[in-house]
């Protein structure tokens, strides 16, 4: 509604991260992720994108700076409160095969997050048949897979189909935000386009908040309302998607634009 101020889901202030050998990876990173938006982070390999994602998900410690999630500083949280915060986060990574247990049927891999939250039913499937199987069917339907896939194993699915399952699993708990870390990098070009359109449709229909990380500027531009450009652990610039081609863009951003397709 007009006049409403968007709520910050994530606010990062002066984040610094170094590895044990003292090598700096992230330098004074500051940004905000607003509820309902997709914030894109683009940069070549080694720019610090995935390290940043793992810090946001509290999968990795950082030396200094603040990460506030829904208004709460994450660093120093006790185990119980940290577990509660993590339950509101989700992620989709580059390799869906690695994200799915090869010995579990799709039903059990898909339902793993909900199995840990007894009694929780996502609001967007409450009209579906009650019970574990009904929720699983509804989740697969949301990502365009038929119910018969629930009895299959990961090796029986294509790369794109496996990634659809990981997306369904990521949205199942209605997280406050989802980190999409190179979610299409391991897929062929046609499947990449299908998955990106699926992610965009889900964001619009369910009001999801994304942090979309990629080396592919075209994909970031398609998905995101705002874009952050990173290089060597530094934030070079941040701008809205319609400013991508402005003359004042950083030289590194213009270099990335040369391979824009």
pLDDT tens digit string along 80-115? Answer: 999 999 999 999 999 999 999 999 999 999 999 999
Radius of gyration of the chain (CA): 19
Separation between Cα atoms, residue 188 and residue 202, nearest integer Å? 21
225: tokens are: 């309302």
pLDDT confidence band for 15 (50 / 70 / 90)? very high
> Stretch 182-211: mean pLDDT, rounded?
96
* 72 or 261, higher pLDDT: 72
Asked whether 121 and 139 are in contact (CB, 8 A), the reply is no
Backbone angles phi, psi at 137, to 5 degrees: -60, -45
Using DSSP, state whether 230 is helix, strand or coil.
strand
Asked whether 223 and 196 are in contact (CB, 8 A), the reply is yes
Domains of the chain and CATH, by start: 1-88+179-186+210-261 (3.40.50.300)
State percent of the chain over pLDDT 70: 96
121: tokens are: 């039913």
- 251 - beta bridge partners? none
Q: How many CA atoms lie within 13 A of 227 on its CB side?
A: 25
Is 60 exceeded by the pLDDT of residue 173?
Answer: yes
Is 50 exceeded by the pLDDT of residue 183?
Answer: yes
pTM of the predicted structure, to 2 decimals: 0.93
Q: Number of helices (H) and strands (E), helices first, in the chain? A: 9, 10
User: Cα angle at 207 between 171 and 229, to 5 degrees?
Assistant: 85
Residue 2: predicted pLDDT: 46
Is 80 exceeded by the pLDDT of residue 160?
Answer: yes
Using DSSP, state whether 249 is helix, strand or coil.
coil
Separation between Cα atoms, residue 256 and residue 261, nearest integer Å? 10
Residue 129: predicted pLDDT: 62
| Distance from the Cα of residue 40 to its chain's centroid | 10
């Amino acid at each position: 509604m007009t006049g409403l101020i968007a709520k910050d889901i994530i606010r990062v202030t002066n984040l610094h991260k170094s590895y044990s050998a003292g090598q700096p990876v992230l330098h004074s990173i500051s940004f905000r992720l607003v509820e309902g938006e997709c914030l894109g982070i683009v940069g070549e390999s080694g720019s610090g994108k995935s390290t940043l994602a793992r810090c946001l998900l509290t999968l990795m410690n950082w030396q200094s700076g603040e990460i506030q999630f829904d208004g709460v500083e994450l660093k120093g949280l006790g185990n119980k409160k940290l577990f509660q915060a993590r339950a509101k986060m989700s992620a989709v990574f580059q390799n869906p095969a690695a994200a799915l247990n090869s010995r579990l049927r799709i039903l059990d891999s898909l339902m793993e997050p909900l199995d840990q939250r007894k009694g929780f039913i996502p609001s967007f499937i409450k009209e579906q048949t009650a019970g574990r199987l009904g929720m699983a069917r509804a989740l697969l339907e949301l990502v365009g897979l038929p119910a018969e896939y629930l009895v299959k194993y990961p090796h029986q699915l294509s790369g794109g189909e496996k990634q659809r399952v990981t997306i369904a699993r990521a949205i199942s708990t209605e997280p406050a935000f989802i980190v999409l870390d190179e979610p299409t990098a391991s897929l062929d070009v046609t499947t990449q386009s299908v998955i990106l359109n699926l992610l965009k449709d889900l964001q619009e229909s369910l009001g999801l908040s994304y942090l979309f990380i990629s080396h592919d500027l075209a994909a970031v531009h398609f998905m995101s309302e705002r874009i952050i450009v990173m290089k060597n652990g530094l934030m070079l610039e941040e701008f809205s998607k319609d400013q991508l081609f402005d003359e004042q863009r950083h030289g590194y951003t213009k270099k990335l634009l040369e391979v824009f397709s």
